[in-house]
Amino acid sequence: MDVLVPLPVALPLLAAAVLAAVGTFLPAWFGDLVAAVVSVAVTAIGVVLLTRTGRHDLVYWFGGWRPSHGVALGIAFDVDGAGAALGAVAGLLMAASVAFSWRYFDETGPLFHVLLLVFLGAVEGFALSGDLFNLFVFLELMTVAAIALTGYGDEPAPLQGALNFGIVNGFGAFFLLFGIGLLYGRTGALNLAQIGRSLAGGRADGLVLVGFLLVTAGFLVKAGVVPFHFWLADAYAVAPAPVCVLYSGVMSDLGLNAVAKVYWPVFSGPLAAHATALRAILVTLGVVSALLGGAMAFLQRDLKRMLAFVTIGQIGIGLVGIGLLTARSLAGTTLYVVSDGLVRGSLLLVVGVLIRRIRSCDELNARGGGLPVSGVLFAVGGLAIAGLPPVGSFFGRALIEDGATGGYRWLPVVLTAASILSGGALLRAAGRIYLGWGSDREPVLGEEQASPEQEEPAHPPRGSLVVMLASAAALLVVGVGMAAWPGLPGKAVTAAVRTIDRPAHAAEVLEGKPPPHERASAPAPSGTSIAAGLASAAGAVGLALLALFGGLEALARRPVLRLKALHSGIVTDYVTWLTAGIAALGAAFVLALR
């Protein structure tokens, strides 16, 4: 067993505990230092783990309890390519955030860094675990740390965000746990591979369908897929920018990844006969998220809230890749969320610079108030979100589109429309803030949202400004430049082929049998997907220019205003939507998959 595997969880958690015990007796910069060292170490370990997952998963049994006769006695980490990559991304995003906010959270004592470290440990555990209940534990640990990191601040808005976050995610976790209870009652197992092996012989009866519904819904709440997305926009809009980087860059992605991570080993056996119907449901869900996220992003003036909706849209595109149920599109989703997560992290740091300098991240208020360097970073980020070839996420989207089978040839058109909306929103903001184009009055975009951060030093020293911009640039370069890694799409497809081979994966986890090594290749992006990428980027630029110079009055129509009004910020509404969403999704499952 690889000795590095437990460290991404153990190091941050140990550091958090020690920091809490002795932090009050040490100078304030000590917290920054510990967080920086730990996050860099976690990134490095993640990269090493990623390079070691080329031919097989890294399976690690805690306490040394290897399974006996196919029964898992303990908890396993099952590190595959996607998990290791997301673990490394989490470390990198946190390192950038800590550098960005160096000495900024001094007044909270060590508490802020303690919670940040706990959050990192939880993210890593959630990314690597191969045990269903253990996933629940780390999901909740993430939520507990995140409620405080969101709710910290003097204004009412962060509290609303924290409350909506905690309550909606709390229910998501209960549904997950209810599903775990059902599956445990049927199979007497918690290890993903073992549950899957036990279910494989049977058919998809009520328990399997409802178990799948509840487990998936729990993860989709975390991912922020429509109609479980309402909390996300409120929480991401008010969390401090450096924290938001972790939420948007990796937490949502992990929720999405967990759907694939549970579907293939556990449910792909009994649901195999219903793949066509399941594909239709998941792709529909993803497409709705992609379009609604893009549209809502375009209707925002607060940049953090805009990026929250961009996240929802991008996660929707990722869900399409998972929902297509092919190895190639699954690999596409992995590449897409990793690359785009880094880009979104970078954009949020650029927004953070704006907030530090002019105490606002409102598109209209900040008109003409941005630094040119930030403007370049923001515009490149916006084009990357739109999927301009040949940035990192373009290769992901191309794999998703090219991996589509049969009746899904229309996907590039819809995904292009979604990307145009998200990218157009960001480029419109870039044009207004950094070039001073357009007007500073757009009634359609509504009132200015409550200002999220307070007591900001208005003129950060030059040195720290350089560090802030450098952290943003570093994330952008890695996210966009991933495409330069030779053979990366091929590696991703190879990993995905292993993920969807359920029997071989179960034998690997439970009996330690090495999986068959098939080196899969990824063909170069098709002409259609290149055209779709170019059209997305051109369309986004066009839409932004149209919005800046043509104004937005044309949008002041009832359906648009209705859509905005649905996002009411009231938690009881959100719980109603959650209930309705699960009931509707469950009805679709039961009717289509029986």
Site for another protein in 37-66 (CB under 8 A): 60-65
Cα–Cα distance for residue pair 478/486, rounded to 1 Å: 14
* 534 scored as a contact of another protein (CB under 8 A): no
Q: Taking a C-beta distance cutoff of 8 angstroms, is the pair 49, 58 a contact?
A: yes
Question: What DSSP letter does each residue of 37-70 carry, written as one string?
Answer: HHHHHHHHHHHHHHHHTSSS-EEEEGGG---BTT
Closest separation between CB of residue 68 and another protein, Å?
8
- Residues 447-466, one symbol each (x = binds another protein by CB under 8 A, - = not), give --xx----------------
* 359 scored as a contact of another protein (CB under 8 A): no
Which residues pair with residue 129 across a beta bridge?
A: 77
Pick the closer one to another protein by CB: 76 or 383. 76
Pick the closer one to another protein by CB: 5 or 473. 5
Closest separation between CB of residue 436 and another protein, Å?
25
Q: Among residues 305, 328, 428, 502, which is the contact residue for another protein, using CB under 8 A?
A: 305
Q: Which stretch binds another protein (CB under 8 A): 18-26, 378-386, 520-528, 533-541?
A: 18-26
Pick the closer one to another protein by CB: 87 or 396. 87
As given in the structure block, the two tokens for residue 422 are: 């998200």
**CA angle at 64 for the pair 60 and 67, rounded to the nearest 5°:** 80
Question: What DSSP letter does each residue of 235-283 carry, written as one string?
Answer: HHHHS-HHHHHHIIIIIHHHHHHHHHHHIIIIIHHHHGGGHHHHHHHHH
Closest separation between CB of residue 173 and another protein, Å?
8
- Residues 412-451, one symbol each (x = binds another protein by CB under 8 A, - = not), give ----------------------------------x--xx-
Q: Taking a C-beta distance cutoff of 8 angstroms, is the pair 426, 536 a contact?
A: no
Cα–Cα distance for residue pair 212/589, rounded to 1 Å: 9
* 154 scored as a contact of another protein (CB under 8 A): yes
* 209 scored as a contact of another protein (CB under 8 A): yes
Pick the closer one to another protein by CB: 65 or 485. 65
Residues of this chain, 463-482, that bind another protein according to CB under 8 A = none
- Count of residues that bind another protein according to CB under 8 A: 116
Q: Which stretch binds another protein (CB under 8 A): 174-182, 242-250, 414-422, 531-539?
A: 174-182
3-state helix, strand, coil in the chain (%, to 5): 75, 5, 20
Q: How many CB atoms lie within 10 A of CB 174?
A: 13
Which residues pair with residue 531 across a beta bridge?
A: none
- Give CA separation, 59 vs 1, 45, 70, in Å: 7, 16, 14
* 558 scored as a contact of another protein (CB under 8 A): no
147 CA to centre of own chain? 17
Pick the closer one to another protein by CB: 176 or 398. 176
Instruction: Name the residue among 294, 286, 298, 228 with its Cα closest to residue 260.
Output: 286
Q: Among residues 99, 182, 385, 522, which is the contact residue for another protein, using CB under 8 A?
A: 182
Is the four-CA dihedral 451, 453, 456, 460 of positive or negative sign?
negative
- Residues 100-119, one symbol each (x = binds another protein by CB under 8 A, - = not), give --------x--xx-xx--x-
* 19 scored as a contact of another protein (CB under 8 A): yes
131: helix, strand or coil: strand
As given in the structure block, the two tokens for residue 472 are: 């943003």
Residues of this chain, 122-151, that bind another protein according to CB under 8 A = 122, 125, 133-134, 137-138, 140-141, 143-145, 147-148, 151
As given in the structure block, the two tokens for residue 545 are: 């220019």
Residues of this chain, 255-294, that bind another protein according to CB under 8 A = none
* 24 scored as a contact of another protein (CB under 8 A): yes
Pick the closer one to another protein by CB: 24 or 521. 24
Q: Which stretch binds another protein (CB under 8 A): 203-211, 218-226, 516-524, 534-542?
A: 203-211
Is the four-CA dihedral 464, 467, 469, 472 of positive or negative sign?
negative
| Structural Rg of the chain based on CA atoms | 22
Pick the closer one to another protein by CB: 237 or 469. 237
Closest separation between CB of residue 307 and another protein, Å?
14
Q: Among residues 40, 170, 545, 551, which is the contact residue for another protein, using CB under 8 A?
A: 170
Q: Taking a C-beta distance cutoff of 8 angstroms, is the pair 67, 191 a contact?
A: yes
Closest separation between CB of residue 10 and another protein, Å?
6
Contacts of 429 (CB under 8 A, 6+ apart): 303, 306, 363, 378, 382
As given in the structure block, the two tokens for residue 161 are: 């965000």
* 79 scored as a contact of another protein (CB under 8 A): no
Q: Is 455 left (phi over 0), alpha (psi -120 to 50) or beta?
A: left
* 592 scored as a contact of another protein (CB under 8 A): no
Closest separation between CB of residue 168 and another protein, Å?
10
Pick the closer one to another protein by CB: 379 or 582. 582
Q: Among residues 58, 127, 213, 433, which is the contact residue for another protein, using CB under 8 A?
A: 213
Residues of this chain, 230-259, that bind another protein according to CB under 8 A = 234, 237-238
